[in-house]
Structure 1
Amino acid sequence: MNLQSYVDAVRHELGVAAAAGGPDAEALADRLTAPLDSAIRLALLEALSDAAEEITRELAPASVEVRLRGRDPEFTVSAGAEAEHEPVHPVPESDDDGGGTWRVTLRLPESLRSPVDAAARAEGLSVNAWLVRAVASALGGRRRPRGNTDRFFSGWVH
């Protein structure tokens, strides 16, 4: 997937907006476009990674990964090796945010890196997807009871 067309579209829109501000604004926009290239690419990659993570949860035991080849992302879809060998522990949906994601920093001992990488690779999963499954399995499907008081909404309102 070539991200350059998306980056160029944002650059163009910045130029159009700057043109309304006059020559000084246009000059500033020209100076900002080079540093913005990396920021736009990073934001697009994060969005693609989040999308792949969400799709992986829906496709279990299959998974979708975003991999970089040079500067461009590629999607890899795997059927999931455990589908043939053992039962799958379903990943429980979140009770309070409609299936959204939660970011957490997890610090593990370096000695676990190799075994975790190997286990994820053996199951055809990303390390993140493998860890989500491990947590879901450890919880044994325990879920909070649903109730109207524990719901919240997020997003933008105009």
Structure 2
Amino acid sequence: MDLTPYLDSVADDLGRATALADDHVRDVAHRLAVALEPGLRLALVRAVSDTAARVNTDLDDAVVTVTMDGRDPVVTVTRTGPTEEAHPAPGEAAPAEDGDLVRITLRLPEQLKARAEELAGRADQSLNTWLVQAVRRSASTDEPPTSPLTGSRRISGWA
């Protein structure tokens, strides 16, 4: 998403506001517009990110992510839910929504984090989006998660 037109619009508005001023004031306004550009760019990126987060709370079958490509944000929508065939028929109840987003802290071994980042990169997703999808996939199955203690290699008996 190219932010230049929005930033140019602000600079143009400032230029119009100082059009009747003397050369010194117009020069100061121009330098001020140049100095404010990084802060305005950051504010716009935050607004886009906040919008994506808000949209995520309203969607139950997609995740909206904002990544940076140089100085410009890139908005990506990734479908995570069931395909159209899995949507309820008219008159049937829709699946429950996920609800509001919450922030958690997840502590991973360094090698596992690196592997997850690699897989997220292969899927062209942020690590957060990839983890959300992995948890959704895992939570959507009726099978309990397996662990080394409950897997097929479990040994029981007396020693």
Shorter-normalised TM-score: what interval? Answer: 0.5 to 0.7
| Letter of the structure 2 residue corresponding to residue 45 of structure 1 | V
Superposition pairs for residues 9-20 of structure 1, below 5 Å? 9-20=9-20
Give the percent of matched residue pairs that are identical in Structure 1 and Structure 2: 28
**1:63 equivalenced with 2:63 (yes/no):** yes
1:138 corresponds to: none
Q: How large is the Cα RMSD of the aligned pairs? A: 4.0
| Letter of the structure 1 residue corresponding to residue 53 of structure 2 | E
Q: How far apart, CA to CA, are the structure 2 residues paired with 1:117 and 1:65?
A: 20
Is the alpha carbon distance of 1:76 and 1:5 closer, same or farther for their aligned partners in structure 2, counting shifts above 3 Å? same
Q: How far apart, CA to CA, are the structure 1 residues paired with 2:51 and 2:69?
A: 18
2:116 corresponds to: 118
Q: How far apart, CA to CA, are the structure 2 residues paired with 1:61 and 1:116?
A: 27
Is the alpha carbon distance of 1:34 and 1:108 closer, same or farther for their aligned partners in structure 2, counting shifts above 3 Å? farther
Relative to the length of structure 1, the TM-score reads: 0.55
| Letter of the structure 1 residue corresponding to residue 98 of structure 2 | V
| Letter of the structure 1 residue corresponding to residue 51 of structure 2 | A
| Letter of the structure 1 residue corresponding to residue 68 of structure 2 | L
Q: Any gaps of 5 or more consecutive residues in structure 1?
A: 94-100, 135-158
Greater percentage in helix: 1
Q: How many residue pairs align between the two structures? A: 119
Is the alpha carbon distance of 1:89 and 1:113 closer, same or farther for their aligned partners in structure 2, counting shifts above 3 Å? farther
Is the alpha carbon distance of 1:27 and 1:125 closer, same or farther for their aligned partners in structure 2, counting shifts above 3 Å? closer
Q: How far apart, CA to CA, are the structure 2 residues paired with 1:20 and 1:73?
A: 36
2:80 corresponds to: 80
Of the two, which has the highest radius of gyration?
2
Deviations 1:74-94 (A, max 9, x none): 22111127x58xxx874335x
2:128 corresponds to: 127
| Letter of the structure 2 residue corresponding to residue 74 of structure 1 | V
Q: How far apart, CA to CA, are the structure 1 residues paired with 2:115 and 2:46?
A: 21
Q: How far apart, CA to CA, are the structure 2 residues paired with 1:30 and 1:5?
A: 16
Shift of 1:107: 7.0
Is the alpha carbon distance of 1:17 and 1:130 closer, same or farther for their aligned partners in structure 2, counting shifts above 3 Å? farther
| Letter of the structure 2 residue corresponding to residue 118 of structure 1 | A
Is the alpha carbon distance of 1:107 and 1:114 closer, same or farther for their aligned partners in structure 2, counting shifts above 3 Å? same
- Does the 8 Å CA contact 1:117/1:127 hold for their aligned counterparts? no
Greater RCO between the two (CA within 8 Å, min separation 6)?
1
- Does the 8 Å CA contact 2:65/2:129 hold for their aligned counterparts? no
| Letter of the structure 1 residue corresponding to residue 22 of structure 2 | G
Shift of 1:64: 0.7
- Does the 8 Å CA contact 1:78/1:125 hold for their aligned counterparts? no
